[in-house]
Amino acid sequence: MIREAQIDELNALRDIEIAIDAPLTIQELAVYQADGRVWVSTDESDQLVVYILLQRVDNCAHLKQVSVHPDHAGRRLGQALIEFAVSWARNYDLAGVADDFPPCPLERSLLTGV
């Protein structure tokens, strides 16, 4: 299930980061969460297993980070969140989705379906 992250889940997001040896601080995660730019996917018991951080840069959605807990790797959960990010970008009439600065879009076809 993909949904917006809640403020009380910041520690769970950090646990995913620690599991992959790339921890962000709670303060860094809180900025994204407060602005509605961190989305999560959960397992069948509603435990967070993957999340994505999104930014708006110029007229593009930027995939700041996609983090998958190692225990759930290889299940295309990160891909599902990337596809969600494309829908998010469409909803905001953004020109594309980028995964690195400065080029935008990463794949214009992600938005157009071409």
Distance CA 37, CA 25 (A): 16
The pLDDT of residue 18:
79
Angle at 57 between CA 54 and CA 63, to 5 degrees: 30
- Tens of pLDDT along the chain (114 residues) come to 788 899 999 888 888 877 776 677 889 889 989 988 899 999 889 999 999 998 888 888 888 888 888 888 898 888 898 888 888 888 888 888 887 544 444 444 444 443
The pLDDT of residue 22:
67
Token pair belonging to 47: 């435990």
Token pair belonging to 54: 């999104």
The count of domains in the chain is: 1
Strand (E) positions, 26-90? Answer: 38-42, 48-57, 60-68
The pLDDT of residue 100:
58
Domain around 23: 2-112
The pLDDT of residue 7:
92
CATH for 105:
3.40.630.30
